[in-house]
Amino acid sequence: MSENAKPTACILCNQNCGILVHQDQEGNYTKIIGDKEHPISKGYLCQKATRLNFYQKQNRLTSPLKRKDDGTFEAISWDVAIQEIADELVRIRDTHGGHTIAYAGGGGQGNHMGGVYGSMLRAACDTPYLYSALAQEKTGNFWVNGHLFGRHNTNYCEALHDAEYVMIIGANPIQAHGFPQARPTINEISRNKEKTMVVVDVRKTETAKKADIFMQVKPGKDAFLLAAMLGYLIQNGMENKDFIAKHTVGFEQIKPHFQQVPIAEYATIAGIDENTIKEVANGIVNANTFALRSDLGIEQSHNSTLNAYLARLLFLITGHFNRKGTNCLHNFLFPLIGHSKSAAESGVVTRVTKMQGIGKLFPPNILPQEINTDHPERLRALIVDSTNPVATYANTQAQREAIEMLELSVVIDVAMTETAQAAKYVLPAQTQFEKMESTFFNLEFPRNFYHLRHPISKPLENTLDEPEIYHRIVTAMGEIPKSFPILATIAKMDRRFPKLKLLPLALGMATKVNPKWNKYQLLILKETLGKALPYSYAKAPGAFIWVACQIFTKKYEKQIRRLGYKEKGYALAEKLFDKILNSKSGTLISEHTYEESWDLVRHKDKKVHLEIPEMLQWLDDLPNKQFVAEKRARKYPFNLLAGERRSYNANALFRNPEWRKKDVEGALKIHPDDAAEYHIEKGDWVVCSSNVGSITIKTLITDEVPRGMLSMPHGYGFSYEGHGVRTTGAIVNELTSLEECDPLAKTPYHKNVRVRIEKIEEPVSI
């Protein structure tokens, strides 16, 4: 085993814990340990990271592929693939308009560099349509944040470790993490007698078992629970009046809506004892510090956008915000998302379903409807990068059908995914350990960090990194020249004498002469500055981070210098850039004071705007809301949690089931009494059907789920033997529907899928 363990990060969840990877001579990852030098994870790892060799050594795409008329694929050269794709994009753009082209993905849990340069391809196609997995979970949050704090891309972190009173709602951090060192943090809170941990979940999860107070809420009824809690606080005048006066506007407008909340009735609907609701509300008010963590359990469930609003009100009206030990806004080196204008401000909407973007993202649930129609402005081309819509977007069948209808579909991936199998062109990418990569999941406060990961493995022959793929397509579309010899020479000089600012000056002049180049500045930098950098691999991302550092320094000079930097302005940006390039384990980039977190509010008055009329209306209508799932309950007696985070699933990142040490088939959890009613015994198999489709799945009998509820993981059922058909487990989205989603954000109700089951003999494996 090599003694030279190389630093990088785990790519399996948004924590991106720092890791040190040992390899053998064939490049197998023989040992993976936590990297103590990583500024946030500090050596922490969970069990999944140690199995990353199954990602690196998976069955890879080894050549660009083109689908033939008979449905099979032929290998073609990069040059042919790039030119054909570019020609088709130009044809579709110039004949039907850029708005008939869309882009999906651009990054998963570990790779956001592709997305940055993917925006250059969107610019070349002249399309605003970016579909994202984030728009099937977080866009309701972004929308609410936009109203409360001023922009969709104002985000807060959850300082659970410093809080005296903690509430975790619809999240299972012991399995899913979601904040640094989740397991030790939860264990510490659980053991500490001075701290209280409340968990609100429908299942008795690994996290719930460690709670001081477990509120086992009825599926999809969190809005009632939260409204009851807020109603109790407001009806009893328990809000934090000083905080409200100093930091917020609009409290008087929201107050009457909570004054009329029938607490006892809502408690019954939520399935929670009224006294427990009052106890927790009192606990929050009386605590010095309170922090709240929420995730998919309230995002992919009924009333999800309202849930986002109510959850935020809970810490806002009790004054637990932007202080140590509470939820705090944070900065970004580069914002993960953008801000969309509303319809009233003439923001972009989609052409078929008229969906408005949130955070500049569009939701997977409308994608098939935007394609599979005879609407003249339907989508005709789709570029897919780092996402597998057929398997991970709602309704697998509808997604596949839509993709097969497109005039042009391109999948950029490392593996032959379900979506690739339905596409016209498939382009082989390098893995996240073969190129410079990073994410913008730098979501920490008061000290934020950034980790630019260096490649640790030699790229597989005939694969490319995404920035290069986008560069080639944009060039082949005729938007920019292949190379920039003069700028490249200036870039080399610029690196020797950065103080002279030669490159920014030259770039400014070049874009004045060629205004069209303006929107491709990152690609131009990749070809000029990127090539002048000391690391051959730093080409693309290195160049982009140079720009990010310039912008970041303009905003946060004081906070960067607090880390000990002596420089100012441009020189400080150069220094930070240098530090990032040279810190293979990641580095801190800024340090705020808690008081300064108020500067991160984007409303001009720097106050939180509590009143959101659409949400208050929704709150008033809560008792009258009827969900399709509830209407379907007779025919489909079970509520399925379609997509549980477990110890061996990681979104769609592993295809070969051998990576799993347990739960190889991804079992369907069922309560013992329900199992008895259906004569299901240990290890039995069932067919599970929704109004959309059916799957075959093994059962696991456990009282972790309540009666009437079933739970299955996502991330199963992928084909993995070459481009063949071997699969293990079931694709969860065979059961989920496009229509059952939040009315505002269109985020799916994956945690509320109505199904029925039927026991069968064990299926013969294929």
Ligand X SMILES: Nc1nc2c(c(=O)[nH]1)N[C@H]1C(S)=C(S)[C@@H](COP(=O)(O)OP(=O)(O)OC[C@H]3O[C@@H](n4cnc5c(=O)[nH]c(N)nc54)[C@H](O)[C@@H]3O)O[C@H]1N2
Nearest distance from residue 173's CB to ligand SF4, in Å?
9
Residue 457, contacted partner among ligand X, ligand SF4, none, CB below 5-8 A by kind? none
**715 φ/ψ sector (left φ>0, alpha ψ -120 to 50, else beta):** left
Does residue 17 bind ligand SF4 (CB under 6 A)? yes
Give Cα 489 to chain centroid, integer Å. Answer: 39
The DSSP-derived string for 608-619 is: EE---HHHHHHH
Among ligand SF4, ligand X, none, what binds residue 296 when CB lies within 5 to 8 Å by partner kind? ligand X
Minimum CB separation of residue 580 from ligand SF4 in Å reads: 20
Does 16 participate in binding ligand SF4 (rule CB under 6 A)? yes
Pick between residue 12 and residue 581 the one whose CB is nearest to ligand X: 12
Nearer to ligand SF4, 16 or 155 (CB): 16
Q: Is residue 46 near ligand SF4 by the rule CB under 6 A?
A: yes
Give 591's strand partners: 447
Instruction: Say how many residues touch ligand SF4, by CB under 6 A.
Output: 11
Euclidean distance between CA atoms 258 and 239, whole angstroms: 12
**Any bridge partners for residue 712, and if so which?**
642
Residue 45's binding partner, choosing from ligand SF4, ligand X, none, with beta-carbon cut-off 5 to 8 A by kind?
ligand SF4
Least gap, CB of 136 to ligand SF4 (angstroms): 20
Binding to ligand SF4 in span 144-183, by CB under 6 A: 177
Short-list 609, 545, 553, CA closest to 578: 545
Q: With binding defined as CB under 6 A, does residue 587 bind ligand SF4?
A: no
Nearer to ligand X, 205 or 727 (CB): 205
By CB under 6 A, is residue 381 in contact with ligand SF4? no
Q: Which residues contact 318 (CB under 8 A, 6 or more apart)?
A: 233, 238, 239, 240, 243, 284, 285, 290
* Contact of residue 222 among ligand SF4, ligand X, none (CB under 5-8 Å per partner type): ligand X
Q: Which one-letter DSSP state was computed for residue 411?
A: E
With contacts defined by CB under 6 A, name the span among 6-14, 545-553, 640-648, 670-678 that binds ligand SF4: 6-14
The nearest distance, CB 94 to ligand SF4, in angstroms, is 43
750 binds, among ligand X, ligand SF4, none (CB under 5 to 8 A by kind): ligand X
What is the 3-class SS of 646-666, one letter each residue? CCCCECECCCCHHHCCCCCCC
Contact between residue 153 and residue 337 where contact means Cβ atoms under 8 Å apart: yes
- Listed in sequence order, the residues at least 6 apart from 735 whose beta carbon sits closer than 8 Å to its beta carbon are 640, 642, 688, 689, 690, 692, 693, 694, 695, 753, 755
Report whether 404 contacts 125 (CB < 8 A): no
Least distance (Å) between residue 663 CB and ligand X: 11
The nearer residue to ligand SF4, 22 or 609, going by C-beta atoms, is 22
Q: Which of 247, 419, 218 shows the shortest CA–CA distance to 326? A: 247
Place of tokens 């801000």: 339
| Shortest spacing between CB 419 and ligand X, in angstroms | 7
Among 6, 21, 35, 48, binds ligand SF4 (CB under 6 A): 48
The entry of ligand X, ligand SF4, none near residue 49 (CB within 5 to 8 angstroms by kind) is ligand SF4
Q: Is 197 helix (H, G, I), strand (E, B) or coil?
A: strand
Q: Across-strand partners of 449?
A: 588
Which option in ligand X, ligand SF4, none does residue 444 bind, with CB closer than 5 to 8 A by kind?
A: none
Q: Is 45 in the site for ligand SF4 (CB under 6 A)?
A: yes
Q: Which does 387 bind (CB under 5 to 8 A by kind): ligand X, ligand SF4, none?
A: ligand X
Query: Going by C-beta distance under 8 Å and a sequence separation of 6 or more, which residues neighbour residue 230?
Result: 258, 261, 310, 313, 314, 317
Pairwise CA distance, residues 340 & 139, whole Å: 11
Q: From ligand X, ligand SF4, none, which one binds at residue 644 (CB under 5 to 8 Å depending on kind)? A: ligand X
15 sits near ligand SF4 (criterion: CB under 6 A):
yes
Region of 510 on the Ramachandran plot (φ > 0 left; ψ -120 to 50 alpha; else beta): alpha
Tell me the closest approach of the beta carbon of residue 261 to ligand X, in angstroms. 19
Closest distance between ligand SF4 and the C-beta of residue 17, in Å? 3
Cβ proximity to ligand X: between 139 and 322 the closer is 139
| 338-346 LR contacts (CB < 8 Å, sep 24+) | 338/152, 338/153, 339/146, 339/151, 339/152, 339/153, 340/152
Please give the residue ranges that form the binding site for ligand X (CB under 6 A): 13, 108-109, 111, 114, 133, 136-137, 169-172, 175-178, 200-203, 205, 217, 219-220, 222, 295-298, 301, 385-388, 392, 412-415, 417, 429, 431-432, 466, 641-646, 649-653, 714-715, 732-733, 736, 750-751
Number of neighbours of residue 418 by Cβ within 10 angstroms: 24
Least CB distance from residue 43 to ligand SF4, whole Å? 11
Closest to ligand SF4 by CB, 17 vs 234, is 17
Backbone angles phi, psi at 57, to 5 degrees: -105, 35
16 binds, among ligand SF4, ligand X, none (CB under 5 to 8 A by kind): ligand SF4
Interface with ligand SF4, residue 528, by CB under 6 A? no
Q: How far is the CB of 409 from ligand X (least distance, A)?
A: 15
Q: Are 549 and 542 in contact (CB under 8 A)?
A: no
The per-residue b/e assignment along 168-193, b for 16 or more CB within 10 angstroms, e otherwise, is bbbbbbbbbbbbbbbbebbeebbeee
Measuring CA to CA, which residue among 572, 521, 534 is closest to residue 506?
Answer: 521
Contact positions vs ligand SF4 (CB under 6 A): 10, 12-13, 15-17, 45-46, 48-49, 177
